[in-house]
Amino acid sequence: MRTCRDIATQLLAPGKGILAADESIGTMSARLVKAGVEGTAENRRAYRELLATTPDLADGVSGIILCDETLNQRCGDSIPFAEALRAVGILPGIKVDTGAKACPGLPGETVTEGLDGLPARLAHYVELGARFAKWRAVYTITDSTPTPGAIAVNASALARYAAACQEAGLVPIVEPEVVMNGNHSQLRCAEITAAVHAEVRAALALLDVDPAGMVLKPNMIVEGADHPTRAVPADVAAVTGKVLQAWPDDLAGVAFLSGGQEPERATANLAALQHLRTPWPLTFSFGRALVTPALLAWRGHADRYADGQAALAERVRANAAAVRSRTELQRT
Ligand code: 5MM
């Protein structure tokens, strides 16, 4: 358990966050194609190499979440990705779920799969150099969802994943994501997220998952993407803080997902969250809010490689600065 606690401490190093670059092959290919780049294994590898080799990335990034494909690929000069990251002081992580799949008995809802054979896969990922893992459960808000059944089965799977990770010496990132799709209010997002978290906490406790050896990756509490008004950062922080306060004091830390917010809004909300007095650090584990500007600046052009890296560096700098502001705020 000591190992997980130590790794979690490194992941949550002051002033740093986590880069989620673990899009599945289908998602990554679709995003490349949308940016005008062919969705091939080599282009997915080249794009991840662009991200991972961004100069001074370790100044603001403690860990990068990869997918299975990338963990088995090499940076251009033949070094496996995990080794290349560790050489620059970044912890390699691995997404170990196999995706949100239609849940039998719950029409229109999903359960995240990947538990079959998980201990053996985790042992293999440790051999490949991974030090932490990620599993994402997905909850969609409609008038009738998420149902208690979807909340229960996903919590159970998250807990079994987290317990297996800690037994394997990998820090589990536990990601229950209430997605922004829909026109729901911020209040409804808060109610649903609180219910989801309560079930996840209970499931983790039943399997004796050590809070100090895990990272919670929640959504910020915002209104649905189609809602007519937008909560300002101070409100997002206040409501998110209320939902999070039920987590135990010895939780290693909270690393938010960006969830489809524009990059600047995610950063502004992250900065506002630093005003909360919480027993755990609050940082970022953004995917799209960090990498979309980089992909759009690069678009597969060799002569725009540095532009892509500069775009990522700028988003990392802004989010790391937001997180660092906590130290100053807590001194006052
Ligand atoms: C990077 O995207 C991750 C994997 O997505 P798929 O398996 O669906 O392709 C995703 O889990 C991501 O880590 C989180 O949603 C956080 O990313 P955002 O973009 O919400 O910050």
For residue range 243-262, list pLDDT tens digits in order: 999 999 999 999 999 999 99
Give the model's pLDDT for residue 328.
Answer: 72
Ligand 1 nearest atom to the CA of residue 97, by list position? 7
Q: Model confidence at 1, in pLDDT bands (50, 70, 90)?
A: low
Query: Under a CB-based contact definition with an 8 Å cutoff, are residues 66 and 21 in contact?
Result: yes
Marked catalytic residue, from 175, 177, 199, 223: 175
Q: Ligand 1 in contact with 322 (CB < 6 A)?
A: no
List the CATH number of the domain containing 247.
Answer: 3.20.20.70
Give residue 259 CA to ligand 1 midpoint distance, Å: 8
- Specify whether 16 is catalytic: no
Marked catalytic residue, from 16, 199, 217, 223: 217
Give the model's pLDDT for residue 72.
Answer: 97
Query: Under a CB-based contact definition with an 8 Å cutoff, are residues 173 and 213 in contact?
Result: no
- Specify whether 95 is catalytic: no
pTM higher than 0.95, yes or no?
A: yes
Distance CA 39, CA 30 (A): 7
Query: Which of 8-12, 73-77, 225-229, 231-235 has the weakest average pLDDT?
Result: 73-77
Give Dmax over CA atoms of the chain in angstroms: 53
Q: Model confidence at 332, in pLDDT bands (50, 70, 90)?
A: low
Show the domain range for 117.
Answer: 2-331
Q: CA nearest 210: which of 258, 159, 269?
A: 159
Q: Ligand 1 in contact with 60 (CB < 6 A)?
A: no
Give the three-state DSSP class for 33. Answer: helix
Domains identified in the chain, total number = 1
Which H or E element spans position 293? helix 288-298
Please give the C-alpha separations between residue 21 and each of 45, 65, 69, 186, 220, in angstroms, as whole numbers. Answer: 11, 5, 11, 28, 19
Give the three-state DSSP class for 177. Answer: strand
Give the three-state DSSP class for 22. Answer: coil
Average confidence (pLDDT) over 296-319: 98
Give residue 193 CA to ligand 1 midpoint distance, Å: 18
Q: Whose CA is nearest to atom 5 of ligand 1?
A: 23
Give residue 330 CA to ligand 1 midpoint distance, Å: 31
Helices (runs of H) and strands (runs of E) counted in the chain: 12, 10
Distance CA 195, CA 178 (A): 11
Give residue 332 CA to ligand 1 midpoint distance, Å: 35
Does pLDDT of 76 surpass 90? no
Backbone region of residue 165 per phi and psi (left: phi > 0; alpha: psi in -120 to 50; beta: other values) = alpha
Q: What is the mean pLDDT of the chain?
A: 97
